[in-house]
Each structure stands twice: as C-alpha cells, then as structure tokens.
Amino acid sequence: MTDLSTAATPTDNPTVLTVSGPAEYPGLDEWRNLPISQQPTWADPDVYAASIKELGSVPPLVFAGEVDVLRERLAQAAQGKAFLLQGGDCAETFEAATADRISARVKTILQMAVVLTYGASLPVIKMGRMAGQFAKPRSSNDETRDGVTLPAYRGDIVNGYEFTPESRRHDASRMLRAYHTSASTLNLIRAFTQGGFADLRAVHTWNRGFTANPAHARYETLAKDIDRAIKFMASCGADFDALKTVEFFASHEALLLDYERALTRIDSRTGLPYDTSGHFLWIGERTRGLDQAHVDFLSRVRNPIGVKLGPTTSAEDALALIDKLDPNREPGRLTFITRMGAKNIREKLPDLVEKVTSSGARVLWVTDPMHGNTVTSPNGYKTRNFDDVMDEVRGFFEVHRDQGTFPGGLHVEMTGDDVAECLGGADPIDQEAFLTGYESVCDPRLNHKQSLEMAFLVAGALAHSR
Ligand code: PEP
Ligand code: MN
C-alpha cells in the first residue's frame, strides 16, 4: 500500500471506546483492533456511551431493500447501461439543513440528471452527498488563528465550525443531532421525489427561482424539447405513471466509525448486516489503508461501497482493495471514485484501469474531478478552477475510451444556491466574489449555474463515448 501522508499514526489513533450498537454479527467490531485515523477524541465518555446506546435503538434511515435496489442499479452502470450522478456539499451542516437549501440541491441534481439522461439517452442513477455527509477528514488535528490553536473542525457530527474552545470540543451528542438532521433531510428528499414534485412533466418548474444565465437558457430549451416529446407520446396513448416518481439515493463518506457501527442493523430477510445510515458509503482517500479500520468495517456490510483513489494509488492497491471489499466479484458492490487531478489523470489512470480490467474484476468507475484540483486563490480562499475540473472530466472520458471501459459516473461537490466558491464557468466567478458569496465550511462547491454547465459538458462527452 502506498504511504499516505495522513495514514494512521499512534497519535491520531486515540483510544476507541468500546460500546457497540445492538447489531451482533461476527467481525463487525474487528475494526476496533486495527489502526484507525481521522477519529475524534470524545470529550465526555458518559455522553459518548449514552449517544451510542441511543443510536443503537433508533429506526434505520434507509432500508435494506432500497440498498439492494441501488446495488442492482450500480451493476447496470458498471456494465455501461446507466450513469451515476452523485453530488452535494463537501460538508453538510446542521444549520443549512433547511427546506429551501435542501430542495435547491435536489432540484439541481434532478436538472443535471435530466440533462445527462436526455443528452446521452441513458438512465441516470441520482444520488446525493446528502442526509449524512457530516464527518470530515482533516490534514491537521489543529487549526491556529492569530496565535490561538484549537482542534480542527471535523464536521458538524464531531464539533462546531465556530472558532472557540467550547465549539471545537468533540461532543458525542452531535452524533444524535446528525442522525435527526439526516432523518429530516431524507424525509424531505423522499417527499420531493415521491410526492409528484419530481414528475418529469414538471421539468420546467425546477428551473424557476434560479436567475437567468446561459446554462438556464440552455436548460429551458431542453425542457421544451422534453415537454414536446412527452406531449407527443401522450397523444399516442402512452402511460406516464412511471414518470411521477424518481429514485434518489443518499450517500456519505463513512468516516466516523462509531456512528456507522451504531447504525448497523441485521436485515431480518437475509440475516446480514447493513449500515443503515445511508444507501451508499464511501471510504475516503485518507482512510483507504488496506489493513486499517475503515476498509475492514465496510468490507463487512452489505451496502454498495465506494473508494476514493488519488494519484498515489498503485494498481496493486486497487487489486487488493477489490479482493478485500468485493471478494465475490458481486456486480454493483464496488465503485472506484478516481480523484487524480487534471494534471495526473491521463498519466495515472490508464495503468489502474488496465490492470483492474485484465484481472477480470468489474468495478464501476466514477470521476471526482474536484478533490485533485483544489488550490488557494491569491486572496486566500480554498477554491477550484472550473476549467481544471472540466479538464479532469475530459481526461477521465479519454482514458476510458482508450481502454475500452465505461466512464460510469460523476461525483461532484455542488449546491443549488448562488454561491461563489469555484472560479470560472460561462458566467464567470472571480475571486472578488468570494468576499460575499463564499459559504462552504469545507471544500468549494460548484454553484447552481456551474453545476448545470458541467452537466451539459458531461452529457456531450458521454454521448460521444457510446
Ligand atoms: C470529500 O469527498 O470531501 C473528500 C474528503 O474526498 P477525498 O477523500 O477524495 O479527499
Ligand atoms: Mn470535499
């Protein structure tokens, strides 16, 4: 395994308190014996014990049957018969879990999916980095401002963003708030996508409330085409009941293993463990060590699993991860989310794809064009250039075309709001806009316009790749 800069060290391997959730299944607690990185050091053991106990008895956020459906959908994508669109905040916050913001994000993902479906004539699997994306890996344990050093912000599930000692304490009761915020977010998503709002016949209304700009105008034209096609089919007698609802899946990085373990339940149908905190869980670039806790824990749950693969990943690492996470070579089980950086992708990805493919394994390949392209703007903001992001997407499509493999998905940090966090786009954002429009507490997101623009560009590349 390649040496990762933030791999587990004795100092960031705090004593993990051992209180398990009620789901008993052989091996589910094996991770507690392994090196682990990026975990909190909870301030109060009693609050920790009470929180874990409660999480062990609350209802699941997602159902095993839904998780199984997703695995089948992802298997389709791995075979080139569907495309995965996964998007949302870098870090969700409790404060921003409002109806307006959640619905803007869902609408934007639905709009992007329509653009992709229509442009590439392919079913699109819609998935939010939503309803659970509350834990963040950090490159440093501490943060220093004006000579004051405090613990780094690790996501709302661990501590607060506000730079005070009280807020930065690792407070285990936040796991309960994360659970309840996930539940209300998911409730709204389910209402939107099952309650008629996402009916494809309302494709125009998703654009309402967003200001006029080039990507919106293009979307309006596409929505008119879809309307016309639907009206034509309706006059021919077609039945459109299937358009009324949309499948939408929830995903997050399974970083905080206390939380993931406590929400793991044994499915009464199959007798197997499912992590019911979300449908799809991924392992981050900093925690994908083969013999470490995260890979071990996720190897033991039935959910479809993703792994982020950065530019230092060797083909041997990838093959070992397949053996550990998908020993039975189960279609849809394993997704590799590559995040190489625009500068590296054309050089690094071919060897991985070639060796994985010639091993006979079939994974779903997804591009995350965000995390390998983070830079600091001259005025000091963490940002990304839209052009670099798009260049990585193009590189991803080129490599898969050359290898004869399917570029099966797009993973982006985006929002439905009009923020200014990434530079560029057709209606360009410049660094001055950050002063008033930068809201992210972690990585910079594509705003609504940039997200739509990206969907059009990816739809074009996808249509050509088939
Ligand atoms: C993320 O997805 O926000 C993230 C931290 O990604 P990575 O693990 O790829 O760095
Ligand atoms: Mn991020």
How far is the centre of ligand 2, averaged over its atoms, from the C-alpha of 375 (Å)?
13
Find the domain containing 268 and state its range: 61-147+190-198+245-465
Atom 1 (ligand 1) nearest CA:
90
Q: How far is CA 408 from the centre of its chain?
A: 15
Ligand 1: residue of 6, 89, 90 to mutate (most ligand atoms within 8 A of CB) is 90
Residue whose CB lies within 8 A of the most ligand 1 atoms, among 154, 337, 368, for a mutation test: 368
Lowest mean pLDDT among 143-152, 190-199, 212-221: 212-221
For residue 414, which ligand has an atom nearest its CA?
2
- 361 is a domain residue: yes
Q: Is 54 inside a domain boundary? A: no
How many helices (H) and strands (E) in the chain? 13, 14
* Interatomic CA distance for residues 329 and 343, integer angstroms: 32
Residue 269 lies in a domain: yes
Residue 78: is its pLDDT beyond 60? Answer: yes
Q: Specify the DSSP element, H or E, that contains 142.
A: strand 142-145
Distance from residue 127's CA to the centre of ligand 1 (Å): 16
Counting from 1 in the atom list of ligand 1, the atom nearest the Cα of 443 is: 3
The atom of ligand 1 lying closest to the CA of 411 is 2
Q: What is the pLDDT of residue 401?
A: 97
* Residue nearest (by alpha carbon) to ligand 1 atom 8: 284
From the CA of 91, give the closest atom in ligand 1.
3
CA atoms lying within 13 Å on the CB side of residue 51:
26
- CA dihedral over 190, 196, 198, 200, signed as positive or negative: positive
Q: Which ligand is nearest to the CA of 282?
A: 1
* pLDDT (0 to 100) of residue 200: 79
Give distance in angstroms: CA of 237 to centre of ligand 2.
Answer: 46
Residue 391 CA to residue 382 CA, distance in Å, equals 19
Task: Answer whether residue 23 is part of any domain.
Answer: no
**What atom of ligand 1 comes closest to residue 253's alpha carbon?**
2
Looking from the CA of residue 285, the nearest atom of ligand 1 is 8
118-143: per-residue pLDDT in tens? Answer: 888 999 999 999 999 999 999 999 99
Assigned domain for 176 exists: no
The number of beta carbons lying within 10 Å of the beta carbon of residue 48 is 20
Distance 308 CA to ligand 1 centre (A): 7
Q: Is residue 327 part of a domain?
A: yes
Predicted pLDDT at 7: 35
Quote the percentage of the chain above a pLDDT of 70: 94
Which of 339, 382, 410, 442, when mutated, tests ligand 1's pocket best, judged by the most ligand atoms within 8 Å of its CB? 339
Cα 359 to middle of ligand 2, angstroms:
31
CATH number of the domain at 392, please: 3.20.20.70
Q: Which helix (H) or strand (E) holds 253?
A: strand 248-253
Give pLDDT tens digits for 184-197.
Answer: 999 999 999 998 77
Q: How far is the CA of 90 from the centre of ligand 2 (A)?
A: 4
In the predicted model, what is the mean pLDDT of residues 232-253?
87
Residues with CB under 6 A from ligand 1: 90, 137, 253, 284-286, 308, 339, 371, 443
Give the dihedral of Cα atoms 302, 34, 339, 4; nearest 10 deg: -170
Residue 396 Cα, ligand 1 centroid: separation in angstroms? 18
pLDDT tens figures, 94-107: 999 999 999 999 99
Ligand nearest the Cα of residue 129 is 1
Contact 393, 465 (CB under 8 A): no
Is position 406 within any domain?
yes
Adjacent-strand bridge partners of 367: 338, 410
Contacts of 44 (CB under 8 A, 6+ apart): 171, 172
Contact 19, 53 (CB under 8 A): yes
Rounded to the nearest angstrom, the distance between the alpha carbon of 426 and the centre of ligand 2 is 23
Nearest C-alpha neighbor of 421 from the set 401, 395, 451: 451
Residue nearest to atom 6 of ligand 1 (CA): 284
| pLDDT: which is higher, 237 or 161 | 161
> pLDDT tens across 6-17, in order?
333 333 444 444
User: Do the domain assignments include residue 228?
Assistant: no
| Ligand 2 centroid – CA 68 distance (Å) | 27
Give the mutation target among 344, 443, 445, 446 for probing the ligand 1 site: most ligand atoms within 8 A of CB. 443
**pLDDT average, residue stretch 48-72:** 97
Q: How many CB atoms lie within 10 A of CB 464?
A: 10
Q: What was the pLDDT predicted at 6?
A: 35
Write the residue with the smallest CA distance to atom 10 of ligand 1.
285
Query: Across all residues in the chain, what is the average pLDDT?
Result: 92
**In this predicted model, what pLDDT tens digit does every residue of 398-448 receive, in sequence order?**
999 999 999 999 999 999 999 999 999 988 999 999 999 999 999 999 999
Q: Which atom of ligand 1 approaches the CA of 337 most closely?
A: 9
Q: 204 pLDDT exceeds 70?
A: yes
Lowest pLDDT segment from 17-26, 146-155, 220-229, 326-335 = 17-26
Which pLDDT score is estimated for 215?
Answer: 75
* Separation of CA 199 and ligand 2 centre (Å): 31
pLDDT at 465: 84
> Per-residue confidence at 227, pLDDT binned at 50, 70, 90?
confident
Q: Quick one: pLDDT at residue 201? A: 78
CA of 458 from ligand 1 middle (Å) equals 21
Check if the beta carbon of residue 331 is closer than 8 Å to that of residue 374: no
- In what helix (H) or strand (E) does residue 462 lie, and over which residues does it extend? helix 448-464
Total number of domains in the chain: 1
Residue 233 pLDDT grade (very low, low, confident, very high; cuts 50, 70, 90): confident
| Ligand 1 pocket test target in 154, 156, 256, 285 with most atoms within 8 Å of CB | 285
CA–CA distance, 453 with 422 (Å, rounded to integer): 13
Closest C-alpha to ligand 1, atom 4: 284
- For residue 89, the CA-to-ligand 2 centroid distance in Å is 8
